[in-house]
Structure 1
Amino acid sequence: MKDRSTLLCAAAALGVLLSGGLELALQYNIRESDRALLFTLVVLGTALAVGLVRRVPPVSLGLVWMTAIGQAATATPFLLTQAAWAVIAFGLARWGDRAVLWASASSFVAGPVVAVVLIGNDLIWIDPPYASQDLFVATVDQLGLGWRIGAGVVFGALLAMPWLGGLTLRISRRARIDLDRASRERLRAEEIARVREAQTRLARDVHDVVGHSLAVILAQAESGRYLPDDDPTALKSALATIAMSARASLHDVREVLTATGDTTDDLDNLIDNLRAGGHEVVTGHDGTPRALPEPQRAAAYRVLQEMLTNAIRHGLRGGALTVRRTWSSDALQIEVRNGIEPAPGDRLSSPGSGSGLDGMRERLATIGGTLSTGVRGKVFVATARIPLS
């Protein structure tokens, strides 16, 4: 973009040189005057200022002022070629830094004032064939504010309009840059949020897997204390169950970390593993089972796993667990019941109402599901609702 604008400025500078040369060639009175060299310098200075306005705006502004001051000092008339100052005014506002921007804005006030003062004192003039100085003064005098103020307004407006155009593009460009920066920051924040969500989900999965296995292992280890000393077969069975639970936990953790496993639809195996570990589990279902989308399948597996872990950890030792799955037209409902010993006078206490239940609620919330818990008599009931769509 910068190279393109630089080329355009170079092309405009070449146009100034050509038009200035043509102007000098067509005006006999200029060509034959003793100021022909001064006119040439004005054309060259204007062309150079146009060509440099993109790359070095301060130098361009300095050339304009040097040209104008030189014309005033030598009483050299204004050339039509110098209408290219409008291009310079545009470029200073569009590409100049803050100092150049304010300096160029000040020039639109100072420049016309200086020019009008010099014209009024006959220090510079406007030669034919472009305009008669008397006609110029008479024309601007019709503005009603005196010819000096009128001339200052005309000169300032002619330069201010392209300057304002350049300023508008500058502000628009800055707004686009700020918008792009804000968009990049938003995308970066969203990416960070996704990473943190993935980390939270990973931690929750590992918690569910390890917590469930440790609950089974702990139950087996506790039961081993009450086995008869002369029954090695029962002890070996308990140790085998512990080993199986640990092995399954290690396998599940690996699958969670690699995200390649497919255990989300293995609800029956999850229950069978508990039974193999010596827990009594009563199951039942209503409705017609259907295939679940991947997010719902993952949530169903992890939530049931945590519900069973919670029941083992906080339920009556040796008490039966009840798991019921109910399929409706729009949701799968999983209910887990386990017996408890409620504290006296606190029949509505919620065993395990800590990070485990909070984790289940958060997991279900991500798919639009809900979790309800409560105590009915001496039974703790946890019910998860998983929408099918």
Structure 2
Amino acid sequence: MRSSGIFRPLLPYQVAVDVTVAGVFGLLCIPVELTVVGWGRDDVLGTVIMCLLFAAALALRRLSPLLALGTAWVAAITQMALVRPPSIVDIAIFAVLYATAAYGSVRVYWLGFASAIVGAGVITAYLFGEQLLSVSSWALLPLAAAVLVAAGFALLLAWTVGALVRTSLRARQTQRDRERAERERVQEQERGRIARDMHDVVGHSLAVIIAQADGARYAARGEPEATQAALATISATARSALADVRLLLAQLRHSESSAPQPMLADLEGLYAQVRAAGLALRVDVDPMPPADVPAALQLAVYRVLQEALTNAIRHGSGGVDVTMRWLPDRLHLWVSNPVAGPAAPSVEPWDAGQAAEGALGAGHGIVGMRERARLVGGALEAGMVGEAWIVRATFPFAMEPSA
């Protein structure tokens, strides 16, 4: 059910349970009360109305604590107007006070607290008011005080139990909200990772295809064999890119699936694609990587190299040099290639700003490389040094102890 301010949203079965409990309560209380007052009394109708009011308050306690509290007060006033002593129907008052503390708004919460205190005073005044006004009945003061304390304790106990339940419900809701926010954060991170993978896969593959297509166009007449080789490379690269894109889209549709990710062993295939695009690639790895490099680090290194080599294919004017230095606790990676066009100012890589990135038209790619390095605790810097574009990255890692 929808909330309209006064009413709380409840499931249909909850409403049915509350109405059923209230109906049974009213059907039990009416004959009991009529037996006490006598079936032939003139206040039979008043007694029935009183029981129905208490039953209505019980039925409304969860759906609308405010209306339930008001109905309980009307029922209590009716009971006093009929000059009826406290009886079994007053059990509904405790259920209503519990509900105001457990389910009511802040205003209803404090109205329930005030009603418990005021109600204790009203009950005492109702039971001992006339006697206490008599000068000769001061001996009833201790008994009246005891009734006041007992009534206040009973009413406030019901309210306090509801307040504790309210705190528990709020804590569980806060925990659910926190878990939902954490799931959304993880999902957003996963979407970002997939978007970066999509950018790397498509960008690199298209760069290779464009380079091969240009080479095939120039060699179409004089070197038919080179044309055939270029077309074969284009076909293989396109098929590989299509398979990677389908894999990434499958991850978007089924986020729980864990698709295999490229590792250091796949770098040779990446190098082969770059060389097939006509770029002179020189790779220097010293020493060789250890056997237990973390998978997250391997993926980050692969994606950074893929983006750096893609930029070299797009904007480079010559060969590209890749240097990897594996130290006991970190990896140093350098990628360097000359840039076509006018020479950029000679600046240190870590001082190169967004203008240099925009000059290469690779702002998103560089941001992605930096983000990948940051996610594994590393850092990446990119910029012009003379006429060469330099990408320098550092990836720290902890080695697993040997068995």
1:344/1:306 CA distance change after superposition, 3 Å: closer
Alignment map for 1:303-314 (pairs within 5 Å): 303-314=304-315
1:87/1:258 CA distance change after superposition, 3 Å: closer
1:229/1:276 CA distance change after superposition, 3 Å: same
Q: Is residue 108 from structure 1 mapped to residue 100 from structure 2 by the alignment?
A: no
| Unaligned ranges ≥5, structure 1 | 25-33, 73-77, 123-132, 143-149
Could you say which residue in structure 1 is the equivalent of 2:9?
none
Q: Secondary structure at the match of 2:323?
A: strand
Q: Please, which of 96, 99, 105 is the counterpart of residue 95 of structure 1?
A: 99
Whether the 8 Å contact between 1:89 and 1:162 is mirrored in structure 2 is: no
Could you say which residue in structure 1 is the equivalent of 2:329?
330
Q: Is residue 292 from structure 1 mapped to residue 284 from structure 2 by the alignment?
A: no
Could you say which residue in structure 2 is the equivalent of 1:129?
none
Q: Is residue 273 from structure 1 mapped to residue 268 from structure 2 by the alignment?
A: no
> How many correspondences in the alignment?
336
Could you say which residue in structure 2 is the equivalent of 1:369?
378
Q: Secondary structure at the match of 1:336?
A: strand
Aligned-partner residue type, residue 327 of structure 1: W
Could you say which residue in structure 1 is the equivalent of 2:196?
204
Whether the 8 Å contact between 2:120 and 2:155 is mirrored in structure 1 is: no
Structure 1, 327-336 or 344-353: larger mean CA deviation: 344-353
Q: CA RMSD in A?
A: 4.3
Q: Please, which of 161, 177, 201 is the counterpart of residue 169 of structure 2?
A: 177
Q: Secondary structure at the match of 1:266?
A: helix
Aligned partners of 1:89, 1:325: CA distance in 2, in Å? 77
Q: Secondary structure at the match of 2:222?
A: coil
Aligned-partner residue type, residue 310 of structure 2: T
Aligned partners of 2:237, 2:268: CA distance in 1, in Å? 16
Q: Deviations over 1:291-313 (max 9, x none)?
A: 33222222222111111001111
Q: Secondary structure at the match of 1:292?
A: coil
Q: Please, which of 204, 210, 224 is the counterpart of residue 218 of structure 1?
A: 210
Aligned-partner residue type, residue 119 of structure 2: S
Could you say which residue in structure 2 is the equivalent of 1:339?
338
1:204/1:71 CA distance change after superposition, 3 Å: same
Could you say which residue in structure 1 is the equivalent of 2:179?
187
Displacement of 1:327 in angstroms is 1.0
Alignment map for 1:1-389 (pairs within 5 Å): 65-71=77-83, 90-95=94-99, 98=108, 101=112, 105-120=117-132, 137-138=138-139, 140=141, 151=144, 155-227=147-219, 229-258=221-250, 260-264=259-263, 265-289=265-289, 290-316=291-317, 319-341=318-340, 343=342, 346-348=345-347, 350=356, 352=360, 353-389=362-398
1:139/1:271 CA distance change after superposition, 3 Å: same
Q: Secondary structure at the match of 1:332?
A: strand
Aligned partners of 2:128, 2:247: CA distance in 1, in Å? 85
| Unaligned ranges ≥5, structure 2 | 1-13, 62-67, 252-258, 399-403
Q: Deviations over 1:283-340 (max 9, x none)?
A: 1111231333222222222111111001111211xx1111112111122332211012
Displacement of 1:104 in angstroms is 5.4
Query: TM-score if structure 1 supplies the norm length?
Result: 0.70
Whether the 8 Å contact between 2:343 and 2:387 is mirrored in structure 1 is: no
Whether the 8 Å contact between 2:94 and 2:158 is mirrored in structure 1 is: yes
Aligned partners of 2:372, 2:121: CA distance in 1, in Å? 67
Structure 1, 343-352 or 269-278: larger mean CA deviation: 343-352
Displacement of 1:178 in angstroms is 2.1
Aligned partners of 1:194, 1:92: CA distance in 2, in Å? 42
Query: TM-score if structure 2 supplies the norm length?
Result: 0.68
1:56/1:243 CA distance change after superposition, 3 Å: closer
